[in-house]
């Protein structure tokens, strides 16, 4: 199964009937991860075929309303739906107070295990890993503590050639070491080189989500060569000063990060409401980095 990124909202600041505030869902075989949760996110999940119950983890980039005002509603809906599975919510310091105060004010006691995990937005850090996935924070530069997130699939570097494994009677317990590149010592003491038993695995999938941020050069090394980079592009470059002042990026700046990092594809979003049709932002980005696409409500990007 491929990784899928579903875009739920693309607008900055204020929701409109045409464009919603920030939210995306990364769906993998094992996980369904919501990134940011602007007002109305839970309804758009339903509209765009994302099962709310599948979400096992929510990542918040920063505590601005257009990224977090949909969270109290979603968490209480889980309560009303009698969710039983644990839910982890990650975000910068202050997230726990935001969530607990909202739930206390409306007198809701969660009947499921809700774990809120705060991190220091200034340090790049691995915040989650299991055998399939690793998630790291990407420090961003915005008016409040903000982190992007980097998702890397965890797969062994080699894939086993099954008829060879059968021919040499290699036990199941040894498969992992072969996947990691080790040779095999046969029953007669001879060494079978790993290259005869395996072939190289495909590249692990990767995705990064960077919103909101001023142009920040050190993002480049953290997202180098990844499959898909989502980077905010609130303004056209003619408004570079406005972007600097409000600590946002221009379409050109997003494309510069993508080009320097040599990512495979760039998706831009978080468009200022002033751009009725964000195609103008796409055109600007493409001049610097051609493999750029526009985030659109309901868009599904396969990785």
Interface contacts to its own copies, rule CB under 8 A: 13-17, 20, 39-40, 42-43, 46-47, 63-65, 68-70, 72-73, 76-77, 80-81, 94, 97-98, 101-102, 105-108, 143-144
Residues 6+ away with beta carbon under 8 Å from 173: none
Question: What is d(CA 284, CA 275) in angstroms, rounded to the nearest whole number?
Answer: 13
Q: Are 46 and 78 in contact (CB under 8 A)?
A: no
Residue with Cβ nearer its own copies (144 or 167): 144
Q: Minimum CB separation from its own copies for residue 193, in Å?
A: 57
Decide if 244 is catalytic.
Answer: no
User: Is the C-alpha dihedral spanning 238, 241, 246, 247 positive or negative?
Assistant: positive
Q: Minimum CB separation from its own copies for residue 66, in Å?
A: 8
Q: Minimum CB separation from its own copies for residue 126, in Å?
A: 27
Residue with Cβ nearer its own copies (47 or 203): 47
Reduce the DSSP state of residue 166 to 3 states and report it: helix
Reduce the DSSP state of residue 98 to 3 states and report it: helix
Q: Minimum CB separation from its own copies for residue 51, in Å?
A: 14
Burial 164-200 (b: 16+ CB within 10 A, else e): bbeeeebeeebbeebbeeeebeeeeeeebebeebbee
Q: Which of 66, 218, 227, 277 is catalytic?
A: 66
Residue with Cβ nearer its own copies (69 or 230): 69
Structure tokens at 150: 């980097």
Q: Which residues are catalytic?
A: 66
């Amino acid at each position: 199964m491929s990784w899928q990124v579903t875009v739920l909202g693309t607008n900055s600041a204020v929701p409109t009937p045409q464009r919603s505030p920030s939210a995306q869902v990364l769906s993998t075989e094992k996980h369904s991860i919501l990134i940011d949760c602007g007002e109305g996110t839970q309804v758009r999940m339903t509209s765009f075929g994302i099962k709310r119950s599948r979400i096992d983890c929510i990542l918040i980039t920063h505590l601005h309303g257009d990224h977090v005002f949909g969270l109290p509603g979603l968490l209480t809906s889980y309560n009303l739906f009698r969710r039983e599975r644990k839910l982890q919510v990650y975000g910068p310091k202050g997230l726990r107070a935001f969530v607990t105060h909202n739930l206390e004010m409306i007198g809701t006691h969660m009947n499921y295990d809700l774990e809120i995990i705060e991190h220091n937005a200034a340090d790049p850090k691995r915040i989650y890993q299991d055998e399939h996935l690793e998630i790291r924070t990407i420090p961003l530069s915005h008016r409040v503590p903000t982190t992007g997130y980097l998702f890397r699939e965890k797969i062994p570097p080699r894939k086993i050639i099954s008829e060879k494994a059968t021919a040499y009677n290699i036990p199941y317990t040894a498969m992992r070491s072969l996947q990691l590149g080790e040779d095999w010592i046969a029953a007669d003491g001879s060494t079978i080189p790993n290259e005869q038993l395996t072939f190289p695995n495909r590249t692990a999938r990767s995705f990064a989500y960077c919103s909101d941020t001023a142009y920040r050069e050190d993002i480049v090394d953290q997202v180098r060569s990844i499959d898909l980079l989502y980077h905010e592009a609130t303004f056209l470059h003619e408004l570079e000063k406005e972007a600097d002042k409000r600590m946002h990026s221009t379409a050109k700046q997003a494309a510069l990060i993508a080009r320097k990092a040599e990512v495979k594809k760039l998706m831009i979003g978080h468009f200022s409401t002033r751009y009725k049709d964000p195609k103008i932002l796409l055109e600007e980005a493409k001049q610097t980095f051609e493999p750029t696409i526009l985030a659109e409500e309901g868009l599904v990007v396969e990785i």
